[in-house]
Amino acid sequence: MTSPFIEEMIEMTSNMYRLGWDERNGGNISYMLDEEEVKEYLDIHCVLRRIPIGFYAPTLIGKYFIVTGTGKYFRNVKRDPETNLGLFRIAQDGTTAELLWGYRDGGRFTSELPAHLMSHMARLEVDPENRIVMHTHPTYTLAMNYVHELSDRSFTHSLWEMCTECIVVFPEGVGVLPWMLCGNNTIGEATAEKMKEFRTVIWGMHGIYAAGKTPDEAFGLVETVEKAAQIYMLTAHLPRVNTIKDEEMVILAESFGVNYRKDFLNL
């Protein structure tokens, strides 16, 4: 099957692998699709198999998702999308995925699907147009986790200081979680709780979750956080001569008309 949404998944996974963010089988993406766009390419009544999702997702019943597979490498998606991706619908019981395409080798969705779907549920309450959740391991963001306080306010403030665009791109800041065991409902619930406030959530010593209306929005959030973290890590050991002052961040945010977290500034 060839479709625009599969091409978007190929482009996202290829770029994330190229940037070194998703080593081996690291990282995962879930993309919510409209039934009408799925019907153009698939028989939505032909269910290949049913897979438990591991929790009850009542607000996602009937929703369609294309999701990277567990144990799959991003670098292989372009070569064999039907094995490395799967497209499914959340069944009427709210606990089952009805596979319509993909996972051709008998595989299944990422083990972090609960965190993805819980994040979708949380973001849809805030923004009904949200469609993408991506998880990745950007190098400098990870490095920054080891030398910086892991709190929403402190981490956000340091990122905002690194690039002029940061407070404009993620004016709500970033959420930060401590290290937690991945692939279970506990970290999914904690991530979803943060997603009520933030489109971007740092998993301490692990990676980053980002959500958005489009692949570009979610990818752009990760890119911007990673660039800021890179600048932080390149300069953290040096005496700081200049910085973006909090008063200047206010000018920036208000000039671009974004709703920023005033409580994250030292004014």
Write down the residue that tokens 């402190």 correspond to: 154
Give me 146's structure tokens.
């080891």
Q: Active site includes 217?
A: no
Q: Read off φ and ψ for residue 234, nearest 5 degrees.
A: -75, -20
Contacts of 38-46 with C-beta under 8 Å, sequence gap 24+, read 38/64, 38/87, 38/100, 40/3, 41/1, 41/2, 41/3, 42/1, 42/87, 42/100, 42/101, 43/100, 44/89, 44/100, 46/100
Q: Which of 56, 35, 9, 209 is nearest to 119 (CA)?
A: 209
Residue 61 contacts residue 67 (beta carbons within 8 Å): no
Give me 138's structure tokens.
């950007």
Catalytic residue among 8, 23, 40, 112: 112
Residue 199 contacts residue 209 (beta carbons within 8 Å): no
- The SS3 of residue 203 is strand
Residues with a catalytic annotation lie at 112
